[in-house]
Each structure stands twice: as structure tokens, then as C-alpha cells.
A = this chain, B = another copy of it.
């Protein structure tokens, strides 16, 4: 498996939150969970149920007494905060941290992302061990981000940075209708409309036809949809069944 950031929870209080953090990690493929002095000891029976299928992350979690021990093998450590800590550290967005970690990992380094306890957050001593502060730009008037939510945003950003799926896929992966089919639909509709007297004057017909052709063109129909529409035009145009 390619290297990935370790997720370090410092003095987490609730087993339930550890479980939810594990679930958040696995959602985006992260599995290296480290716990520093969890308040209620370890293992914690509340962690498993909240992990909801991410039990493997809980089972392989490593526990340390100190932050120093948890980061011992790491070469670049991020401290996650939602507020400016005024520490003499560079501060990066979660997105920028993800870009940095991708480069660090490709150079063989081991990054880690630290998260503080639920209520109090990290102490300045905890942050002093970090290379960089990772900040999540929450609503300044609210900013009550819980532990698992902070973890999922960091994990999501790392995953997104390494994700190769396209940012955009067209509506019809099998392709749009060929212009021949589109023009066939246009002409079919125009012929039926002419027969019904839709075009009041030859003078305005040009403009009306152009409006309809643009409308059909811009809709981005597939072949199948053009067939459906031709059936609809045919059905609407014919006389009511006796």
C-alpha cells in the first residue's frame, strides 16, 4: 500500500468519537490511526459500534503515552486547528496540506495529522511538535467542528488530491446523438409544425425555426432520447385514435 498520513488523536475523550474518526478515515482510505493517552483507556468498548464497519482501523490502532512517541517515525507533522493559534509555524489550508503531503509521500516521507481533544483542543506544547498548522476555515461565528468531522475533512482532502476520477462526466457517457440524428429530429418537428400551421408567416418562420433548432441542439440529447422525441412528435401530430 502506498504511504499515507497517520491520523493522531491526542487525548481523545469519547470512545464513540474515536469510532467515528475511524469511520471517517476509512471512507477516504486512511488506516493508520494512532491514539495518544485516550482518556478512558484502550480498547474502549464504545469505539467499535460507532466505527460502523471500520473495525479494522480500530483494531489496528496504536496507543502511545506521549505525542513525542506517536510522531517518532514521522517526518512532517500537521497540527489541525480551526482557529489561528498564533504559533511560529507556517499555516496551511487543508487543501494545501493535502498537496504538500502528496509530494512528501512521493519523496518517501511519513506525514502525520494531529487532532486535539474534543473540548479543549491541542495545547501549545502539542502544537510545538508540529511542522505546520493545518487550518480548517470554519464559519467564524460558529465553528463547532467535532472531532470526526475534522478528521473526515482532512482525510477527504488527502483522498481528493490523490483521486484520479474525473471532475466532470458528461450526461451520456455512451455519447450524444450524431448531428444527423439531431437534424432528423429538427426536420421531422418542423415538417409536422408546418402541417399544423404553427408558422404563421413565411417571414417569421426563419426566426422560429432557429429558436427551435437552438433549443434542440443545446439540450444535449442522446441517440435514445432523439428516438423517444421522434416518437413523441409522431404521436402528438397524428389524429386522435377513433
Write the residues of chain A forming the contact surface with B, with a CB cutoff of 8 angstroms.
23-24, 26-29, 52-54, 88-93, 95-96, 136-139, 142-146, 148-149, 152-153, 156, 159-160, 163, 165-172, 222, 225
A22 to B81, CA, bound (A): 21
Residues of B within 8 A of A89 (CB): 171
Q: Is the CB of A90 within 8 A of B170?
A: yes
Instruction: Kindly list the 8 A-B residue pairs having the minimum CB-CB distance in the complex, ordered from nearest.
Output: A96-B167, A91-B169, A29-B139, A90-B171, A93-B167, A26-B142, A137-B163, A27-B138
23 residue pairs bridging A and B, Cβ less than 8 Å apart: A23-B146, A26-B139, A26-B142, A27-B143, A27-B144, A27-B145, A28-B138, A29-B142, A53-B142, A88-B171, A88-B222, A88-B225, A90-B168, A90-B169, A92-B169, A93-B165, A93-B167, A93-B168, A96-B168, A137-B160, A137-B165, A153-B156, A156-B156
A52 to B146, CA, bound (A): 10
A4 to B194, CA, bound (A): 45
CB distance from A99 to the nearest CB of B (A): 9
Q: Is the CB of A167 within 8 A of B54?
A: no
Residue of B nearest to A82 (CB): B27
A84 to B159, CA, bound (A): 18
Q: Is the CB of A52 within 8 A of B144?
A: yes
